[in-house]
Amino acid sequence: MESDPLYNLLHHPKEVEPPAIEDLPQGGKKKYLPPASRKDPKFEELQKVLTEWINTTLLQEHIVVRSLEEDLFDGLILHHLFQKLASLRLEVEEIALTATSQRRKLAVVLEAANQSLQVQEPQVPWSVETIFNKDLLATLHLLVALAKHFRPSLPLPANVQVEVITIESTKNGLKSEKSVEQLTTCSTDKDQPTEDVFDELFKLAPEKVSAVKEVIVAFVNQKLDRLGLSVQSLDTQFADGVFLLLLIGQLQGFFLHLKEFYLTPSSPAEMVHNVTLALELLKDDGLLNYPVNPEDIVNKDTKSTLRVLYSLFCRHKLRESPDGMPHGDPK
C-alpha cells in the first residue's frame, strides 16, 4: 500500500462526492473509489455485463436494473435474482419499505447466497452493511461470485482490477492509503467454451438459421406426434421445459414421474426446474457437451434451444430409416 496525502483526496471532480468522513469513529475505515477507477473501461464493461445478465435473468419478472450501485442495496432485486438462480423460494417479505425491514430482508438473502456459495461472511468482501450502504465494490464482488457459481459460461471481462483509496481514522488524525482491488481473475483459453457449430451458424450464415429450425421442428414433431403434441414455434414452446422433457423421454425410452417435474409450470422458478432437469438428463447420457444455461432456454434464447434439440437430433437421426430425417451438420 502507498500512503496518499488527504489533500489529494479532496481535490477531485465535483460530480463525484467524497466519502463521508466527519462521523468516522477512531479506528474506522471507509473505501473511496476515485473517478479514474470508475471510468476504467474494463471496470465499466464488467458493470455492463453484470447488468445485462441480471436484466436477462429477470426479464420475465419485468425487473430492469439501471445502476448496480443504486438498485440492489435494499435486497429486493437480489432476492429475485437469487431465487431465480438457485430455483428456490426464500421465506422473506416481498416488499420491504423501511430501512430496518430492508436490512432484515437483505440479511436473509445474503445468508442464503453465502450458503449456496459455501462461504462465510467474514471471508468475503461483502456484507449486509456494505451492500446496504451502496458499496459498489462489495456489490460487484457478490455479483461476480454468483455469476461464476450459477452461470460459469457468462463472459466476464478478465483481470478487472481498480485502484481504491481507504480512509482510516486514527488517534493522530485521518490517514489514507491506496490499494488495488481485484474483481475478476486472469482467464485462460481453457476457461472459455470454444465456439461450436451454432456460434458459426449465427455469425457466418444467419440467413440459414430458419432452414435449420425447420429441420429440427420436423424431427421433433415426428417424435411428439405419438403423444398427440405438436410444435409450431421452436423459439417459445420449449421455454417451460415440458415439451423438452417429454421429447427426451420419448427418444431415450423412459418415463418421468409427474412428481419429478411441473407439467403446468406457473412460475419462472418451476420452468427453470424443468429445464435444469432436462439438461441434467442429457449430460448424464453424454448428449450435451457444450455448456447451456437453463435461464437461457427459459428466456427463449434461440441458439441455446437449438443446441439442446440438435444434440438429440444428432443422436437419434442415425436410427432413422433411409427415408427419415436427413443426416449431416447444419450448413
**What is the percent of the chain where pLDDT is above 70?**
84
Average pLDDT over residues 217-228: 91
Q: Identify the pLDDT of residue 244.
A: 93
For domain 197-319, the question of CATH label 1.10.418.10 is answered with: yes
Q: Identify the pLDDT of residue 187.
A: 57
Average pLDDT over residues 195-206: 71
Question: pLDDT category, 220, cuts 50, 70, 90?
Answer: very high
Task: Please provide the average confidence, as pLDDT, over all residues in the chain.
Answer: 80
Q: Identify the pLDDT of residue 189.
A: 45
Q: Identify the pLDDT of residue 255.
A: 78
Residue 156: which of 170, 141, 169, 177 has the closest Cα?
Answer: 141
Average pLDDT over residues 130-140: 92
Write the CATH number of the domain with boundaries 2-191: 1.10.418.10
Q: What is the largest CA-CA distance in the chain?
A: 87
Average pLDDT over residues 302-306: 88
Q: Please write the tens of the pLDDT for every residue from 152-190.
A: 878 888 889 999 888 888 877 788 888 888 998 865 444
Higher confidence at residue 90 or residue 196? Answer: 90
CA distance 235 to 222: 18
Average pLDDT over residues 232-251: 91
Question: pLDDT category, 326, cuts 50, 70, 90?
Answer: very low
CA distance 215 to 247: 16
Residue 34: which of 164, 181, 136 has the closest Cα?
Answer: 164
Whether the per-residue pLDDT at 8 is higher than 70: the answer is: no
Whether the per-residue pLDDT at 85 is higher than 60: the answer is: yes
Higher confidence at residue 298 or residue 254? Answer: 298
CA distance 331 to 317: 16
Whether the per-residue pLDDT at 66 is higher than 50: the answer is: yes
Question: pLDDT category, 217, cuts 50, 70, 90?
Answer: very high
Residue ranges of the chain that CATH labels 1.10.418.10: 2-191, 197-319
Measured between its terminal Cα atoms, the distance across the chain in Å is 56
Question: pLDDT category, 96, cuts 50, 70, 90?
Answer: confident
Question: pLDDT category, 243, cuts 50, 70, 90?
Answer: very high
Average pLDDT over residues 291-311: 86
Question: pLDDT category, 138, cuts 50, 70, 90?
Answer: very high
Residue 238: alpha-carbon gap to chain centroid = 20
Q: Please write the tens of the pLDDT for every residue from 12-27.
A: 333 445 555 556 667 6
